Structures are given as C-alpha cells and as structure tokens.
Chain A
C-alpha cells in the first residue's frame, strides 16, 4: 500500500503518547541522588540511607521510641482530621447553599468571610490554645478552619452555576422549594461541592500534622515526627513524612475516583 505523502506527514505530526515508564523516571532519579548523597555525607543525623527509612516503613505496626507505631499514629491523625473535616462540611455546605441561593444571606456573611479567609489556619494556633487549651478540641478547631473556606467557596460557586433553566423546568414540572433544593440545586452543584470537599480535605490533612507539632501533644503522626527530631531519628522523620504523603494521596485518589464515576456528566455535558 502506498501512503500519500500528506497522510504520512500527518502521521508524524501527531503528538507521541508518553510511555507510562516516563512517570517513573524522575522518582527513580531522585532516589538515586538521595542514596548517593547519603553515602557521600555519611551522617545519619542529616540524611539517612534509603534502607534505614525503608526498614521502618516495612514495619508500620512496630512501636517507635515508645510513642506508638506509624499505623496507630496515622490512624489517630486521620481520626482528628475526619472530625474537623466533618464539622467544616456540616457548617460550610448549608451556609454555602444559603449564600449561593439568596443574595441577602450572601451580603450578610460575605464581608466576614472575606475578612477571615486570608488568615492561615496556623495563625489561629495561639488563640485556639488560649480558648480550648491543649488537646483534641484545639486541634479540631484548626483543622475545621482549614477545611471550611474551600468547601464554602466551592459550594457557593456550585450553587450559582446551577442553570436557571433547570430550576424553571423543575418548577413547571411541579417541584416544591424543597424539591428544587434536593433534586436540582444539590445534584447540579454536587460536582463543584465535591471539588471543594477534596481541596478542603487536603488542607485539613496539612493542618493536622502542623497542629500535632504543637507543644503538649502526645500522639499523631505529626507528634511522632517531632519526637523523632528530638531523638535525632531522621529516618523516622522521613518515614513519617512518607506516610503523611501516602495517606493524603490515598484520600485524594478516593475523591477523584468518586468524581469520575459520579460527576463525569459535568465535563461531558454540552
């Protein structure tokens, strides 16, 4: 068969599909650099060998320095995050729906929200210690604050993106106010709200680690890292950081998985 030249050129111009191996190239390179640097430095208090970090990661249920294992501390952190995230969601979604649907509610709350939004959650640490003392409630407070704004802003956005025609169609089909809320506004805004939840969870997860580094804490993955620092156990610090990354990535993938299954209509809708 003779391929006409034009066809042939087009074939070549087509962008090449990247091989999945390419994704691994940089991580492998980083590991190699790490190992070489560790050997050259030869100081485990600055940069331990990969092997010593790995041996900790491979025994995630083993007790570390009398402070519990990677798994037990990871679960404690996860539990704290879930409480804070849950509280943030519980307040942010209804408020966001109210603000997105009703201009008066929006005007009422917006100035306060704009004022508090730029303050990083960690700037609240001293105040939260003063109010709640050291313990679960002060951590949950910081975590909830961190998750609150992305969830709220995305909910407002999502509700506002609900097409007027959908709402009008629903009214003419006999939907009540409640029916419109439950059957049109919520499902219509759901993809955007879900994005808010995903981003919000990520921030909550960052906040928990930081909150657990506050003095007086005695559990959680952030605490474990801080203790290891005090004991000069750099390989535990790194192992702890890797666990934080893995859990964060895992939850994020879970969010994305649901997004793909349930909310793909938003991308595909024309």
Chain B
C-alpha cells in the first residue's frame, strides 16, 4: 500500500470571498504507519481527510493510492466519522454487515466476517442491539468494526474519540492500537489533542492555520505500549505545543 498526497490546495468561496483552507500539502504516508494529523480548530483537518477519502475535491493537487489517483470514494480508504455515522435502523451486526452487503459476498461469508470484526472490538454480546442502546464509546467501536470489515488498506479517522470522556477515550486509544497491530492497517488519525497524538502516532503532522500548511512533521519513536508520562512523550508534547503556540 502507498498513499501519496501531492501539492493539495483547497479553496472555498464564501459569499464571494475566497478562502484558502489548505495550501500545498504534500505527504508520503508509509505502509502500516500510524499517522496523526494535529492542528488547531478550523485549520482544515477535516477537509484534508475528506479530500483523501474522495468525499471532497481538491482545488489542485492529487491523492494517489497504490499509484492510482483517487477521484471518488474507494473501498481502499475507509472513513470513520466523529459521530452519528451509524445507521440507527440497523442493529450493531447489521451495521457491520453494511459494507459486506454492498460487495455482494455470499451471505454466510458476510456473517462470518461481521462476527469476526464484532469480536475484534469486543462487542459480541451486543450484536442485536441498536445504536441508541449503546454508549458513545461502544458506538465508535462499532464504527471502527464496520470500517475495517470491508478490508480497506487505510483507515481515515476524523477525531473519532473527540466526543468521549477522558477515560473512555484512553481506553479506546489503547484498543485502537491493538487493532492496528493485529490488522496492520495504515491509519490517518485527525485530532486536536496533543496527548492523543503523542500516545498513538509514529509520526505527527502538525498543521498551521490560515492557510492550513504542514508546519512540521515529528517522529515519535517511543516503544509501545507507551507510558503517557514518559520522558520522550513529555519532550515531544512540549515541542508540539510550542509549535502551536508560536502561531498566536
């Protein structure tokens, strides 16, 4: 798998005023990498992820997956939204089955796969529950299972834990790392939490605002599982924070 962004620029026109949200974003994402995209609110993180997912068209520049240019949503790239993306009329297992149904696999195989991923996120008991019966954290687990079930090579995650409380959030971060290590997916993870990025990422892409540019790319080499209070983590946290503060 290879994912390459080349000179991505995005402009919106709002009431006749042109607004450059992203400017000249070039990035080479490595196979099986856990990449965090970090930046202040409004710097264009969501927009960037949506462009990669093929949900939005860049004003200029290209996204390539396995050398092929992305021109619309492809099964290679799965998106996990911040909230409210589960289908409320479907049970948990039916939500996970959605992508498999679209692919037209034989029914028995669909069910096997869905159960496998339900198990991966530890929600086997909740197969028949509806999303409204689940907590926020459980719903995001289902969203992860549903996305992985279609076997994409890249997971695009837009602040998936942003709406959760700190404890649930920490737990889901750990679980996500385990899933990542088991399934060997490439993950692009958008967040505005420095702690989250330092805990999860192999590399942190720090974006600046107005226009959104790549400010710096920081390697995090600390061994996993990481201690959130370790020395290296603290150093990187300080570095990232100072980068962001310089902006103001």
**Number of A residues with CB within 8 Å of any CB on chain B:** 24
Cα–Cα, bound, A267→B242 (Å) = 46
**Which residue, of B53, B83, B98, B130, has the highest number of chain A Cβ atoms within 10 A?**
B98
- Expressed in whole angstroms, the minimum distance between the Cβ of B77 and any Cβ of chain A is 7
Cα–Cα, bound, A90→B146 (Å) = 34
**Taking the complex as formed, is A229 at the interface, i.e. its CB lies under 8 A from any CB of chain B?**
no
**Taking the complex as formed, is B85 at the interface, i.e. its CB lies under 8 A from any CB of chain A?**
yes
**Taking the complex as formed, is A56 at the interface, i.e. its CB lies under 8 A from any CB of chain B?**
no
**Taking the complex as formed, is A169 at the interface, i.e. its CB lies under 8 A from any CB of chain B?**
yes
- CB contacts (< 8 Å) of A265 on chain B: these are 88-89, 130, 132
Question: A173-B146, A174-B150, A175-B102 in contact; A168/B55 too (CB < 8 A)?
Answer: yes
- Nearest chain-B residue to A184 (Cβ)? B87
- Expressed in whole angstroms, the minimum distance between the Cβ of B86 and any Cβ of chain A is 8
Question: A171-B73, A173-B150, A269-B132 in contact; A187/B87 too (CB < 8 A)?
Answer: yes
Interface members, chain B 96-123 (any A CB < 8 Å): 98-99, 101-103
- CB contacts (< 8 Å) of A184 on chain B: these are 87
Cα–Cα, bound, A168→B55 (Å) = 7
- CB contacts (< 8 Å) of A165 on chain B: these are 81, 83-85
- Nearest chain-A residue to B83 (Cβ)? A165
- Expressed in whole angstroms, the minimum distance between the Cβ of A265 and any Cβ of chain B is 5
- CB contacts (< 8 Å) of B131 on chain A: these are 269
- CB contacts (< 8 Å) of B84 on chain A: these are 163, 165
- Nearest chain-A residue to B149 (Cβ)? A173
Question: A173-B78, A269-B132 in contact; A183/B101 too (CB < 8 A)?
Answer: yes
**Taking the complex as formed, is B22 at the interface, i.e. its CB lies under 8 A from any CB of chain A?**
no
**Taking the complex as formed, is B38 at the interface, i.e. its CB lies under 8 A from any CB of chain A?**
no
- CB contacts (< 8 Å) of A174 on chain B: these are 73, 75, 99, 102-103, 150
Task: Beyond A172-B147, A173-B102, list 15 extra A-B contacts (CB 8 Å).
Answer: A163-B84, A168-B79, A168-B81, A169-B85, A173-B98, A174-B73, A174-B102, A174-B103, A175-B99, A183-B102, A187-B89, A190-B89, A265-B89, A269-B131, A269-B132
B residues with CB within 8 A of A: 53-55, 72-73, 75, 77-79, 81, 83-85, 87-90, 98-99, 101-103, 130-132, 146-147, 150
